[in-house]
Structure 1
Amino acid sequence: MINKEEVKNDFIKVFSAFENSIHLFDDQNFNTVPFAESWTPGQVVRHVVLASDGFEHILKGEVKDTERPFDELKPRVKADFLNFGIKMKSPDFILPKMKDYDKEQLTTKIRSIKEAIVHEIDALDLTKTCLGFEIPGYGFFTRYEAIYFVIYHTQRHNHQLNEIYRFLKIA
């Protein structure tokens, strides 16, 4: 049995922490490259928006009954995305462009994504398998796993934002 309140609280906690990390940056350093081969804080946030925006449509899209434990892939996703010792390569379709980003506009989008997905957590059967999008390296996620994919992906980039902030603060 899925504890939807726990899922919702996990989701809200991570997205709220991400919002708080965005606000560590002023408008100038939000678009500053902190060190070689790094994204700017603005690019990090834009990447999370690109990866998460519209995810509620995948959750609401075509599904089927799940023929395995609904949470089977969650530990692997967590281990992969919360291993901060490895550098991951982003798929091209969610790569942020090198440009100046509006911090408030992206923050508003993050809030909108949070609200949309929280609504679906309450409304949907999270044990169903989503057929609308196959995650590279994982296959099709259940709604539950998809939500935790977004959580762990955002958590990873929250860590990245905090590391960038720490670097810029010292520099």
Structure 2
Amino acid sequence: MSPLSEEALNQVPFAGSWTAAQLGDHLAKAYDIMPILTGETKPANRPIDENIEGIKALFLDFSIKMESPKEILPDDGPFEKAELLGRLTTQTQLLISYAQHNDLTPICLAFELPKTGPLTRYEWLSFLAIHTQRHIHQLKNIIQHLGNS
């Protein structure tokens, strides 16, 4: 998102698409998982990465269109570029610090991904990385369309 002007960041690239800024807002909302990570847990009774391949298979299949849960749907905007990038930077730094200083093996009980069940802290952080990969792919498509419009 950094190379885009604030105007381009808030421009709809094609019908039915989010803007690049809305994509960023969606990610910022998705990154807000500290209540899940720090909420109630139980010891893992399975490999701590058991669900990652299934999450990858689903989220990295770019041929399917996914619907966002309403809790993390982006606002309409427009968005200020500096504020949005600041939110994303702050949240990623917080998550990195959490990952470096906490036990990632417990299963989080505060929230479950539909069809997946409860995830370990490691799986939640991996999910965010995979989810981000999906949206980087979308962002590249948005930027390409903006460049061709």
Normalising by the smaller structure, the TM-score range is over 0.9
Answer yes or no: is the 8 Å Cα contact 1:50–1:94 preserved in 2. Answer: yes
Could you say what secondary structure the match of 1:28 adopts?
helix
Could you say what secondary structure the match of 2:12 adopts?
coil
Aligned to 1:152: 130
Aligned to 1:66: 44
Which of 59, 63, 67 aligns to 1:81? It is: 59
Aligned to 1:27: 6
Distance (Å, rounded) in 2 between the aligned partners of 1:97 and 1:106: 12
Displacement of 1:135: 1.4
Any residues of structure 2 matched to 1:1-20 within 5 Å, and which? none
Q: TM-score, normalised by structure 1?
A: 0.84
Answer yes or no: is the 8 Å Cα contact 2:31–2:92 preserved in 1. Answer: no
Aligned to 1:50: 29
Aligned to 1:106: 84
Q: TM-score, normalised by structure 2?
A: 0.95
Distance (Å, rounded) in 1 between the aligned partners of 2:138 and 2:51: 23
Aligned to 2:106: 128
Structure 1, unmatched stretches of 5+, are 1-21
Which of 138, 145, 149 aligns to 1:167? It is: 145
> CA deviation digits over 1:85-134, x for unaligned, max 9?
11100011111122201111011011111111111111111111011111
Structure 2, unmatched stretches of 5+, are none
Taking only the aligned residue pairs, the percentage that are identical comes to: 40
RMSD between superposed Cα atoms in Å = 1.0
Aligned residue-pair number: 149
Structure 1 residue runs of 4 or more that deviate by more than 2 Å after TM superposition: none
Displacement of 1:161: 0.8
